[in-house]
């Protein structure tokens, strides 16, 4: 009987040890889980901080890029306005058939003068190709950025059309006439034909299209700057 009670007591002690071990093991697991959760929370917090810092850096760079593009576009627009004024004068000479006017030759040089706008897009391209554009949670902001930079595509298109007009005029008319003219390009027939007049009209049209495309981009860029300023104030 004594052996029986000793055996029971031994079993209870064994079971008690197992229970203690089980409790200890569960406690260890809980501590590990808590540690992992804390580490994840810290990493997430650090990631948010890093992303916010990167986003703010992008905002600064985008703002500077926007300023540069606005300045260049305004300068190019002013150049277009001056060129249109000269061509308008040339067109009036043709309408009035003032072929003896010294301005006919001097103004005709504006038919092949041009500038090409080369936008600054380094920051935007980094955002787009790295996938960092997703750092901006506001989808409307992302769309605004993309749509603004896409306005440069319209500029490129109308500038290319304008270039084709210039090339055709320069090769098919200007150079063919230059062979029969002196160094001052003075000629009794220069500028008196319908081809020349039509070229003036077409060039005025393409320059007005370019001017409109510049204005559209400037407006879009200025609206984007306002958005950037609001975001920086919120931060």
Over residues 65-114, the pLDDT tens digits come to 999 999 999 999 999 999 999 999 999 999 999 988 888 888 988 998 88
pLDDT for res 5: 43
> What is the pLDDT, as a whole number, of residue 84?
96
Domain that holds residue 152: 2-234
Note the pLDDT of residue 228.
Answer: 86
Q: What pLDDT is attached to residue 41? A: 58
Kindly state the average pLDDT of the residues 124-139.
86
Band (pLDDT 50/70/90 cuts) for residue 218 is very high
> How many domains, in total, are found in the chain?
1
Inter-CA distances, 103 with 19, 96, 181, 205, 212, Å: 107, 13, 17, 21, 27
pLDDT at 72: 97
Of 111-125, 137-151, 156-170, 172-186, the range with the lowest mean pLDDT is 172-186
Q: What is the per-residue pLDDT for 124?
A: 92
To the nearest whole percent, how much of the chain has pLDDT over 70?
73
Q: Supply the mean pLDDT for the chain.
A: 81
């Amino acid at each position: 009987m004594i052996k029986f009670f000793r055996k029971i007591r031994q079993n209870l002690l064994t079971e008690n040890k197992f229970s203690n071990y089980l409790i200890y093991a569960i406690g260890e697991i809980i501590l590990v889980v808590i540690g992992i959760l804390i580490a994840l929370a810290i990493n997430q917090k650090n990631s948010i901080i890093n992303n916010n810092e990167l986003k703010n850096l992008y905002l600064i760079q985008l703002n500077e890029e926007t300023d540069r593009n606005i300045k260049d576009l305004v300068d190019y627009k002013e150049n277009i306005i001056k060129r249109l004024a000269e061509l308008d004068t040339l067109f009036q000479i043709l309408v009035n058939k003032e072929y003896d006017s010294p301005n006919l030759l001097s103004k005709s040089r504006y038919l092949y003068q041009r500038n090409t706008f080369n936008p600054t897009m380094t920051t935007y391209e980094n955002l787009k190709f790295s996938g960092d554009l997703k750092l901006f949670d506001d989808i409307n902001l992302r769309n605004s950025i993309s749509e603004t930079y896409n306005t440069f595509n319209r500029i490129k298109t109308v500038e290319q059309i304008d270039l084709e007009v210039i090339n055709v005029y320069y090769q098919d008319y200007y150079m063919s006439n230059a062979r029969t003219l002196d160094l001052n390009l003075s000629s009794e027939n220069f500028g008196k034909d319908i081809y020349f007049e039509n070229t003036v009209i077409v060039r005025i049209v393409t320059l007005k299209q370019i001017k409109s495309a510049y204005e559209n981009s400037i407006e879009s860029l200025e609206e984007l700057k306002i958005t950037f300023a609001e975001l920086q104030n919120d931060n």
